[in-house]
Structure 1
Amino acid sequence: MRHVLKKGLLSMGAFAFVTAAAFANPYEKFEGTTIVVSWPALSHFKKAEDLVAEFTEETGIEVEIDALQYLKLRDRQLLEMSKNEGEYDVVSWVVMWKGEYVSKGLLTPLSQFYTSGSLVDPNYDLDDIADAYLQNGGVVGGKKGYMPGKSGAMYGVPFGAETSILAYRKDIFEEQGLKVPETYDELRDVMQKLHEAGIPALTSRGKTGHQITAAWLLHLAPLGGKIFDDQWNPVINSPEAVEAAQVLREVAQTGPKGIPTFGFGEAAAAFLQGEAAMHLDTLKIAAMSRDPKLSKIDGKVGYALHPVGSRCGSETGGFAAGIPANAPNKEAAFLFLQYMTSKAGDQRMVELGGDPVRISTLKNNADKFDEYAVVAEQLPCADPDWRPLIPEWNELNIDVLGQALTEVITTDKPIQPIMDAANEKARAIMEREGYYLWQ
């Protein structure tokens, strides 16, 4: 769905900005320019439309939004960015797509804009953006090609990024005399006690394919597991990976009925409708729990850190945004990205009901939203290698792990042989793609 956001009324923040900039307007040369933004038709981005209108009011830069259903977004962006001259000035991607976009030469490195004093807001403070979000969504070319490292380059900024936290029913925990779990041993003990009391414990994704893989990854990271070692050998049959699969089996056995059919929406709905005592997944559950259209448990939810196993390790995921290599209005696009993710823009997103990406925003609003202090404390533990952001991941995610893990939660077969077979399939894929030629 494409639409143009026209000029609206100045917010107080906008008025202050215009007053301060009265003697030097960095946007003046771009007034009347129209940029086209491609992003998903999801809640965070829908809420951002008011901020986009304020951007136009303050800068004179018109914004046309092409909002597409999430599953159609990648194909449309690839088509448009592969042209000699594209239509999009800004694109927003799921973190798994960043490596593909860069490897195909479809994105503009943002470093070139930081050489321009006329474009860069000296008060932007890039270091204030959560490092886990920035590295996961916007940096490409470091260790393993997608992790931080000296060879990495910045292609995007996080917008709609996320990590995982534990949400739990305060009333149920109080009635049952349960302590909020801080470790995986405690989590598994609480799951069993709730189950014995006849209360579905932890809701979870479990649908065959990428959904069940995501559920397993949530446990794999804190339990010390990885998908690959540093030589690209798959290690999804390691003791840590098998333990994560065992935890997932226990979740399915003690959680609400239907987990093998649950995607994220169904898993969240089970918690929001009062059919589970815990939810361990994206932080987005907090805003959902406050939404009367979705939730029956507003006011009954507490938030805690993702439990630790041998280490702390929460999810890294969500969206980032950058500038196509064939964008017609790159400088105006950079100003748009900078505005939307500035300290004032991030605070405005909070006011609009979106998800902040800055540590200062989380801390400054911790008294308003119960989960913000937890998220700020969680982010240093967010794992940049939570999943391998490589082109082969889609096949590994759906066809290998997504099938094996379904067998784990729907049968009582020994887990080790299931994961051994999956590991062999993963290695064959990596060998086919040439990952072992240098060995």
Structure 2
Amino acid sequence: MAAGSLAAVALGTGLFSGAAAANPYEKYEGTTIVVSWPALSHFQKAEELVEEFTEETGIEVEVDALQYLKLRDRQILEMAKGEGEYDVVSWVVMWKGEYVSKGLLTPLSQMFTNGALVDPAYDIDDIADAYLQNGGIVGGKKGYMPGKSGGLYGIPFGAETSIMAYRKDLLEQAGIEPPKTYDELLAALPVIKEKTGVGALTSRGKTGHQVTAGWLLHLAPLGGKIFDDQWNPVFNDAAGVEAARVMREITRTGPTGIASYGFSEASAAFLQGDAAMYIDTLKIAAMSRDPKLSKIDGKVGFALHPVGSRCGSETGGFAVGIPANSQNKEAAFLFIQYITSKAGDKRMVELGGDPIRLSTIAHFADQFPEYPVVAEQLPCADPDWRPLIPEWNELNIDVLGQALTEVITSDKPIQPIMDAAAEKARAIMEREGYYAWTSYRQ
């Protein structure tokens, strides 16, 4: 799709019907907006879309692409100023509550009330609910879930859920069908290892947030949560312990080195042929087709994330919104609307990025074998996959990230390890005042 083609799509759908000479961008021509987002693959592939936006609209865009670990501090610094540098920011979903609680973001409802700005064909209902809830809604149930008290602050861009990828040849060699349930998965792990000589399932396992992410992938479908609705830690219940046992078995039967694997290492183990299965982000599909990353193109199949007591897959990735101190909010909104529109979302797929819209997934279902799987998986994507609260970083790294390392690197009983972690989590929540109302009522 060439530059200017989004306008052609808009004209073709009658966006400007009855007002052929009208140009909603004309007022903002010559404006320069500054966008802060991570130097990651999806956003790098969006650079061409940004150029097309400028060519079509006359709005100039400067992109400040930072290494992911530096992004949050830089954004907070700019958004806390009276007048900041950024007009659009992209955040990983865990940061949204902190940004809103500090008053750093513009409620997008202010923009969606402006008929001159909002494209009638935008169709926000076409965006996958789990992505929108996880990345953009703040203030509902638990403060980060949907609900009547919630508000929209961002639109997903670079969002994801989890699926299974598997080596068709290795599972055939082992006489195994792609596991549909956790019972089937646990039964398959040692068989695959024994019959193929290859690690059964790769996983993140490095101490800290990586091993926690690996465990969370199994906690949701096994029916577990981190907290109940009163903020009591419940991850040491039967579901949490079972998810930890699954992690231990994955480590035992998987490729050597899982205890040192971050996302990159876990993915590389599958892509380089050292593991028969992968359960994590859907991004593995595009990676498996990339000759720079993969030795297994043409050998990979895709299936739903296995189910336990329920279906429950990951929600994660990024969303985009407008800082409260932006001096160009309307132009910023037009940019966000453009890159997340139906035409923009399709263009992102053409450029090698990830879709956020159901219509885009359906449109490309015949071209990408994982898309029908993703379409079926999305209704199971859990917006409460992890608690998106400011304390999560400490809980994630210092509490769960330590306990789960002990689980996968030892043969110690799992229940006491998880019980001790739950006590530490409760102390953190007590320190931060989460139980103040409960104590008051007593």
Give the TM-score of the pair, scaled to structure 1: 0.97
CA contact (8 A) 1:312 1:381 kept: yes
Alignment of 1:272 with 2:271, yes or no, is yes
Asked if 2 retains the 8 angstrom alpha-carbon contact of 1:18 and 1:58, the reply is: no
Going from structure 1 to structure 2, the CA distance change for 1:273 and 1:194 (only over 3 Å counts) comes to same
Which residue number in structure 2 is paired with residue 151 of structure 1? 149
Aligned counterpart, 2:393 = 394
Partner of 1:115: 113
In structure 1, how many angstroms separate the alpha carbons of the residues matched to 2:295 and 2:398? 36
The answer to whether structure 1 residue 126 and structure 2 residue 124 are counterparts is: yes
Greater than 2 Å deviation, 4+ residue runs: 8-22
Alignment gaps of 5+ in structure 1: 1-7
Structure 2 unmatched runs, 5+: none
Query: 1:323 Cα deviation (Å)?
Result: 0.1
1:438 alignment partner, SS class: helix
- How far, CA to CA, are the matches of 2:229 and 2:417 in structure 1? 23
**Aligned equivalent of 2:65:** 67
RMSD between aligned residues: 1.2
Alpha-carbon distance between aligned partners in 2 of 1:93 and 1:336, rounded to the nearest angstrom:
16
Q: 2:208 is matched with which residue?
A: 209
State whether structure 2 residue 33 is matched by structure 1 residue 35.
Answer: yes
Aligned counterpart, 2:3: 10
**Shift in Å, 1:10:** 2.9
Please list the CA deviations of residues 100-153 of structure 1 after superposition, one character each: whole Å capped at 9, or x if unmatched: 000000000000111111000000000000000000000000000001111000
1:55-103 deviation line (CA, Å, top 9, x unaligned): 0011000000000000000000000000001110000000000000000
Q: CA deviation at 1:375?
A: 0.6
- In 1, Cα distance between the equivalents of 2:271 and 2:2? 36
- Match of 1:392, as an amino acid? E
- Check the 8 A contact 1:362/1:373 in 2, yes or no: yes
Q: 1:60-209 to 2 correspondence within 5 Å?
A: 60-197=58-195, 198-209=197-208
Letter in 2 for 1:31: E
Q: Give me the whole-angstrom Cα distance separating, in 2, the residues matched to 1:278 and 1:176.
A: 12
Instruction: State TM-score, norm by structure 2.
Output: 0.96
Partner of 2:425: 426
Q: Tell me the SS of whatever aligns to 2:199.
A: coil
Q: Is the 8 A contact 2:207 2:260 kept in 1?
A: yes
1:302-317 alignment, distance < 5 Å: 302-317=301-316
User: Is the contact between residue 219 and residue 247 of structure 1 (CA under 8 Å) also seen in structure 2?
Assistant: yes
Aligned-pair CA distance for 1:12: 3.9
* C-alpha deviation, 1:11, in angstroms: 4.7
- 2:284 is aligned with 1:291: no
Question: 1:44-65 CA deviation, whole Å, 9 max, x = no partner?
Answer: 0000010011100110000000
Distance 1:18 1:123 in 2: 11
Q: Distance in 2 between matches of 1:150 and 1:241?
A: 30
Question: 1:230 and 1:316 mapped to 2: Cα distance?
Answer: 19
8 Å CA contact 2:4–2:56 kept in 1: the answer is: no
- Give CA deviations for 1:164-203 in whole Å, capped at 9, x if unaligned: 0000001111222211111000111111211222221000
Deviations 1:237-272 (A, max 9, x none): 101000000000000000000000000000000000
Matching residue of 1:56? 54
Farther off after superposition, 425-434 or 189-198? 189-198
